[in-house]
Amino acid sequence: MLIAASDHRVGRSQIGALVEYQGKFMQKSPFLLNGWYCAGWSEELDRQKIIGRRLLNMPIVIYRADGQAVALHDRCPHRFAPLSKGAVKDGNLVCGYHGLAFSRTGQCVESPFGDRKVPNAAVQAFPVVERDNAIWFWPGDPELADPAAIPEFAGLGDAKGRQGYLNLKANYQLAIDNLMDLSHIEFVHLRTFGGAGCFFEGQHETRKVSDTEIWSLWTMDDVQPPAPARAAFGDQRVNHWQDMCWRAPSNLSFDMGLVPLGLDRSSAPPRMQQAHLLTPETETSTHYFYSKEQQDEPKEFDMLKIAFEEEDAPMMEACQRNMGDNFWAERPVVLATDASAILVRRMLDKMIREQNSD
């Protein structure tokens, strides 16, 4: 009996072995399922054709069928081989172990042996959208996967060659904390951005736009320019700002700039805009995708790489190792500068609690 892919709605209601599996990870998760996560850069997929990657603790395979990105559960239901070890053929993903082929909906559509009967089997398919050089992945209810909800990031689409990746051995929430509380710059980034003391003289404000959008605004008026801007501004005092915006579940954008005293932000030329897209790999590791708008010199991107890989990451990873599994159970001391980070944690915790109580 041949079962055409089109006969099946693929998504939450699955067939065969997957129902069980789905039961394990779909109904309850330590992560927010209804949200867009970055699964990789388009350039990676151009290069590799097939990406096998653990996302939210699930093995996921990503490939393109007729130019369109597809995300499936990376586990053949026959012998559990990762489909990412297979090949794409006529828009289907063919398992590299015994040749079962799966359509973009996850339905098994071909079996090369024996009586040629196609088994009534499927792997879960996930909504996926390719936009702005990034592949966006939705692990939750497909009915709710609205591409319009994918956040915009200034410069992301033009950031070719200014995209980085870091495999962080820490929970993604530690990375959100790190970004929402930029006061760490004065201590962690001594070799790159920090050390000028701007943050000691500035104001910090938390602005909640909605339950899924929170800003952490650092305003430093009439300060010495930070180290990387010293070449352009010398000793001239400046108005400086660093604005970080979190959007649920864990995509952050950053806007940093400085202007001579008396000018307003719109006139700022050496402005830096970054995306920080944090996708849980496991509960203690994170795919940390970052990008930077194109306008600047390559060496500035190299400085980002040093800042993130050699300064931020070792610190976050040391905290993870030192912390145990449960942040709140450790009863962290809360400082005024934590306001934005704590608010994001509360929003995320609330949404995940609601999801898991259904």
Q: Does 195 bind a copy of itself (CB under 8 A)?
A: no
Q: Least distance (Å) from a copy of itself to the CB of residue 131?
A: 29
Q: Least distance (Å) from a copy of itself to the CB of residue 94?
A: 8
Single out the residue of 77, 127, 140, 280 in contact with a copy of itself (rule: CB under 8 A): 77
Region of 149-157, 158-166, 178-186, 273-281 interacting with a copy of itself (CB under 8 A):
178-186
Nearer to a copy of itself, 121 or 128 (CB): 121
Distances (CA, A) of 19 to 6, 78, 123, 275: 19, 15, 10, 36
Q: Does 12 bind a copy of itself (CB under 8 A)?
A: no
Restricted to residues 302-341, the positions that interact with a copy of itself (CB under 8 A) are: 314-315, 318-319, 322-323, 330-338
Q: Does 56 bind a copy of itself (CB under 8 A)?
A: no
The residues, any chain, with a CB within 8 Å of residue 241's CB and separated by 6 or more, are 217, 218, 219, 220, 255, 256, 257, 258, 265
Single out the residue of 184, 240, 247, 271 in contact with a copy of itself (rule: CB under 8 A): 184
270 preceded by a cis bond (ω within 30 of 0):
no
Q: Least distance (Å) from a copy of itself to the CB of residue 74?
A: 7
Q: Does 91 bind a copy of itself (CB under 8 A)?
A: no
Q: Does 26 bind a copy of itself (CB under 8 A)?
A: no
Burial 248-284 (b: 16+ CB within 10 A, else e): bbbbbbbbbbbbeeeeeeeebebbbbbbbbbbbbeeb
Region of 41-49, 182-190, 247-255, 258-266 interacting with a copy of itself (CB under 8 A):
182-190
Q: Which helix (H) or strand (E) holds 177?
A: helix 172-180
DSSP for residue 129: E
Q: Does 64 bind a copy of itself (CB under 8 A)?
A: no
Strands 92-94 and 101-102, how do they pair? antiparallel
Number of Cβ within a 10 Å radius of residue 74? 25
Nearer to a copy of itself, 17 or 166 (CB): 17
Q: Does 177 bind a copy of itself (CB under 8 A)?
A: yes
Distances (CA, A) of 261 to 195, 199, 218, 231, 265: 21, 17, 17, 17, 10
Q: Does 183 bind a copy of itself (CB under 8 A)?
A: yes
Number of Cβ within a 10 Å radius of residue 175? 24
- Report how many residues bind a copy of itself under the rule CB under 8 A: 55
DSSP for residue 158: G
110, exposed or middle or buried, with CB in 10 Å at 0-12, 13-18, 19+?
middle
Single out the residue of 55, 179, 188, 344 in contact with a copy of itself (rule: CB under 8 A): 188
Which residue in 357, 358, 347 sits closest to 35, CA to CA? 347
Single out the residue of 30, 187, 209, 346 in contact with a copy of itself (rule: CB under 8 A): 187
Tokens 């586990």 map to which residue? 75
Q: Least distance (Å) from a copy of itself to the CB of residue 323?
A: 4
Nearer to a copy of itself, 115 or 235 (CB): 115
Q: Are 26 and 131 in contact (CB under 8 A)?
A: no
Report residue 336 as tokens.
């005024």
Restricted to residues 106-135, the positions that interact with a copy of itself (CB under 8 A) are: 108, 111-115, 117, 119, 121
Under the rule (CB under 8 A), what is the footprint of a copy of itself?
16-17, 20-21, 59, 74-75, 77-82, 85, 94-100, 108, 111-115, 117, 119, 121, 177, 181, 183-184, 186-188, 199-200, 204, 314-315, 318-319, 322-323, 330-338
